[in-house]
Amino acid sequence: MPEGPEIRRAADQLEQAVVDKPLTDVWFAFPKLQPYQPALIGQRVKAIETRGKALLTHFTNDLTLYSHNQLYGIWRVFNPGDVIDHGKRSLRVKIATPDSAILLYSASDIEIWPTVEVYQHPFLQRIGPDVLDEKLTPEQVKSRLMSKRFCNRQLGGMLLDQAFLAGLGNYLRAEILWLAELLPSHRPSDLSESQLDSLADACLSIARHSYAMRGTMDENVHHGAMFRFKVFAREGKSCERCGETIVKTSVSTRPFFYCPGCQG
């Protein structure tokens, strides 16, 4: 499943296609959304915001399209002359401008909200701050780590919980814990100040580095690629920090990779 950096890069492509262009066609598959179609014609998309794995498409008439891809949803961009082949996917949303269109397939969690109220959406109320939010600081992450809600939780499960930081996922979890030299069994309340500082910084730096450097899920990248995994999907290979062999196990029902030599 895509994590925060992949969701944000997808949103960047959608923004490039439609932001600040007059909308010539807006179509929703769900009858409850269809009354909004006429009101959106001639409007513009102001921005497409990511909150974890949810996308908020903000329109100039102060409405926002909330969508969550869940397991099967996918956005696609089409340009003039492209042959639109829906294949076996079900079209849910179409937003078109004079020179491009973005289409959402297969998702079922789609709603229209007034922009001023959309952050009251139940999903957005449940999740934590977005890990790619530039306003989020390591000090704020450290404060969340030491809060009553999270301080006694094991890191392996907590880093997958979107209530802690939205946008973190399985590969980011492994890379964060490797960088901070910690194990998934550690709890924030057991850590020293310097360990907490390292963990808080890693939570942000790994995700932001993956986004900024267009990180890849493929370990077999060409030499010189700007981002590559240190432990994720590298079982049996040597840790570049200490030389110990990287191990694969399972934590919170998800594959986990770590170095037994320098983590913990």
Closest among 92, 105, 112, 120 to 43, alpha carbons compared? 112
Is-catalytic flag, 237? no
Catalytic residue among 44, 254, 255, 260: 254
Is-catalytic flag, 254? yes
Cα dist. 58→18, 43, 139, 252 in Å?
Answer: 11, 10, 30, 35
Place of tokens 């992450």: 141
- Helix (H) or strand (E) segment spanning residue 196: helix 193-212
Catalytic residue among 8, 51, 53, 92: 53
**Count of C-beta atoms within a 10 Å radius of residue 93:** 21
Calculate the CA dihedral of residues 100, 105, 107, 110 and round it to 10 degrees: 30
Number of alpha carbons in the 13 Å side-chain half-sphere of residue 182: 26
Catalytic residue among 3, 6, 49, 175: 3
Closest among 202, 230, 226 to 215, alpha carbons compared? 226
Category of 260 on φ-ψ map: left (φ > 0), alpha (ψ -120 to 50) or beta: alpha
Catalytic residue among 2, 138, 255, 260: 2
Can you name the residues that pair with 94 across neighbouring β-strands? 27, 103
The alpha carbon dihedral of 204, 263, 191, 164 has a sign of: positive
Do β-strands 109-114 and 54-59 pair in parallel, antiparallel, or remain unpaired?
unpaired
Which residues fall within 8 angstroms of residue 128, CB to CB, at 6 or more apart? 144, 162, 163, 164, 165, 166
Q: What are the residue numbers of the active site?
A: 2-3, 53, 254
